[in-house]
Structure 1
Amino acid sequence: MARITSHRPDDHEDATDASPGDGLSQEVAVSAPPAPPAHLQDLTDRARSYVEAASSANTRRAYAADWKHFSAWCRRQGLSPFPPDPQVVGLYITACASGTAERGTRPNTVSTIERRLSAIGWNCAQRGVPLDRRDRHIATVLAGIRNRHAAPPRQKEAILPEDLLAMLETLDRGTLRGLRDRAMLLIGFAGGLRRSEITGLDLGRDQTEDGRGWIEIFDKGALATLRGKTGWREVEIGRGSSDATCPVAALETWIKFARIAKGPLFRRVTGKGKDVGPDRLNDQEVARLVKKTALAAGVRGDLSEAERAERFAGHSLRAGLASSAEVDERHVQKQLGHASAEMTRRYQRRRDRFRINLTKAAGL
């Protein structure tokens, strides 16, 4: 069995509470390399910015919270979170799976435990001491957790076209916020965009450092150029059959009345709804918008309000397009940026699952 290291009072506490992105500058309870010479400070700062760019802001926030959770659990047990001890990590994920990692909390799901484990590995790697996830104290325990607690993923409800139209009717077309929200819902649906892709759009190329892409408007539609996990991709968004439901017309109206000439496309509306600020919207605002308008429109009224709030999120727009577009599956796959048709099928909530009947094909 691996030796468990007790938490010592003189351990560097600030090393255990560090957030991702600060990994190049953290002091830790092990010998650290000397600080770079002063004339390399500019390169050090630039390298730190590249470290942050390697993962999304949401991932960094989640990793920071998970590392804090692990460090707090270690301190309560009188253990040291660093350097990484596989046996300690194995006991921690066991506590997460059993609901004893923190008082008054439920057992973590398998996906949450896997994310916490990734966060621990990421933070340890940033401190120069990698975590060996193949160690039996981690790998075997995690395999057992998966076998006992893994469950099918809970998919978000798809926003279908009739749902989207009802949701749009709940928005005030006479306000800047209403025009913005209308454009976000329509562009998100027609483009099959992730919420971070919606709020990451700029009005043009190379206009901001934190942008994830840009939009170009043509006579026949709009072209969104997006940076994703696997590189750049282009998403064509055609004009609708009427201005009332056209995502490109909604986008043009928002740009015109918001007087946006450069920079982030979807921004905060300030001054009691009369002004448009310079700041980009947080991507969680898309999830809140979908939930709010779905509830207001009475979508899935057969469910309780709490259930409906749980069923809808930003991914509901992507699932809605995948479930509604009656075209060859490969076109939907390309629009959503999926590497495989199987992933696209997971988004299709109302496809004919028995279109290909192998039972009859086999002669039965």
Structure 2
Amino acid sequence: MAPAAAPLPVVISTQAEAAALPAHLAPLADRARDYVEAASSANTRRAYASDWKHFSAWCRRQNLEPLHVDPQLVGLYITACASGAATPDRVPSSVGTIERRLSALSWNFAQRGQPLDRKDRHIATVLAGIRNTHGRPPLQKEAVLPEDLIAMLETLDRGTLRGLRDRAMLLLGFAGGLRRSEIVALDAGRDQTEDGRGWVEILDKGMLVTLRGKNGWREVEIGRGSSDSTCPVVALQTWLKLAKIGHGPLFRRVTGQGKEVGPDRLTDQQVARLVKRAALAAGVRADLTEGEREMKFAGHSLRAGLASSAEVDERYVQKQLGHASAEMTRRYQRRRDRFRVNLTKAAGL
């Protein structure tokens, strides 16, 4: 009896693995790699690649082999990260960065068929100590409130396509409570591009945004504003009409001194830069230094702004932002009424 053939790996992640397959399965191997990439966002893949490079560089400096999974070695690595010994510049990593690097190592080892047990005492106990010693409250981005957003819109040039595009992005991101990656991933219609992650549909009373976020597909309703000057639907319609976009990516690069629209989709980093640039130009948080202000604003400022200023029942804000819990939504609320429910008085004191 002929020996049973070895099972094919679920993920063909290396050239050596691909070469070991029969030639007629090569197209499937290529497709499998495409699906592996689609399993995580481009930002996540970039971060994981950077973190693996960081780990490998540290191992080389210690004359160690990074390709064999060793919980004790990983425990020493995160200790070096926390103490500043993982890089030549001796800068300690934050707890959040260390946790992300652990996730990156777990993912990379898994792709090599060597699962990393993060519950191993060499990792779990060290990480618990790092959290207790170096844990800090999260640094939150400044919320862009409605009055801030209006001032930011006034800094944009309405006479150029770039200005109209940026106006539509800011209003859509704020009113929809969208992540920066969700804003740029939208298409003008359903199933129009391979890299699209959603589309818009303009209706009489507003706009319906269907998108694929971190937790699957969801719909976001964006109503029309009380004024055309601050209405996200009007801003988007104006941009689409003058940019002559009826198919493909919603927000694209503009060239030729802001007058020509190209075919390429914007990146999420460009949304963050837009928020930062417009906030600085509008003088938002002028009480801070310019350096402090640059650190305060990013793409999440739009989501935090909606969560902080929409005076409706919290569950509606939670639904709009796509959060699984009300506690996550509250993290975005920068100026909510924290003492609306007074349990001290309710208890009779």
| Equivalent position SS for 1:216 | strand
The equivalent residue for 2:13 is: 25
CA distance in 2, matches of 1:198, 1:78: 44
| Equivalent position SS for 1:100 | coil
Q: 1:185 and 2:170 equivalent?
A: yes
The equivalent residue for 1:241 is: 226
| Equivalent position SS for 1:319 | helix
1:221-257 residue CA offsets vs partner (Å, 9 max, x unmatched) = 1100010122111001111111111100000010011
State the Cα distance separating 1:25 from its structure 2 match.
3.3
Kept in 2: contact 1:24–1:127 (CA 8 A): no
Kept in 2: contact 1:66–1:116 (CA 8 A): yes
CA distance in 1, matches of 2:100, 2:331: 21
1:66-95 residue CA offsets vs partner (Å, 9 max, x unmatched) = 000000110011000011111111111111
CA distance in 2, matches of 1:27, 1:80: 20
Q: For 1:1-364, list aligned pairs within 5 A.
A: 24-26=12-14, 35-364=20-349
Kept in 1: contact 2:198–2:210 (CA 8 A): yes
CA distance in 2, matches of 1:149, 1:73: 21
1:101-141 residue CA offsets vs partner (Å, 9 max, x unmatched) = 11114210001001011111101110111112111111111
Q: Indicate the larger mover: 82-91 or 242-251.
A: 82-91
CA distance in 1, matches of 2:267, 2:90: 28
Kept in 2: contact 1:89–1:138 (CA 8 A): yes
| Equivalent position SS for 1:363 | coil
Kept in 1: contact 2:143–2:302 (CA 8 A): yes
State the Cα distance separating 1:271 from its structure 2 match.
2.5
In structure 2, give the amino acid aligned to 1:251: L
CA distance in 2, matches of 1:25, 1:152: 38
CA distance in 1, matches of 2:15, 2:249: 36
In structure 2, give the amino acid aligned to 1:126: Q
State the Cα distance separating 1:159 from its structure 2 match.
0.4
Kept in 2: contact 1:160–1:321 (CA 8 A): yes
Q: TM-score if structure 2 supplies the norm length?
A: 0.95
**Equivalent pairs: percent with the same residue?**
79
Kept in 1: contact 2:165–2:251 (CA 8 A): yes
CA distance in 2, matches of 1:34, 1:27: 6
State the Cα distance separating 1:152 from its structure 2 match.
0.8
1:234-284 residue CA offsets vs partner (Å, 9 max, x unmatched) = 001111111111100000010011111211000011233221111110001
Structure 2 gap segments, 5+ residues each: 1-10
In structure 2, give the amino acid aligned to 1:353: R
1:277-320 residue CA offsets vs partner (Å, 9 max, x unmatched) = 11110001111000000000000000001111111111110110
Q: Indicate the larger mover: 129-138 or 65-74.
A: 129-138
State the Cα distance separating 1:24 from its structure 2 match.
2.5
Structure 1 gap segments, 5+ residues each: 1-22
CA distance in 2, matches of 1:145, 1:325: 37
Q: TM-score if structure 1 supplies the norm length?
A: 0.91
| Equivalent position SS for 1:223 | strand
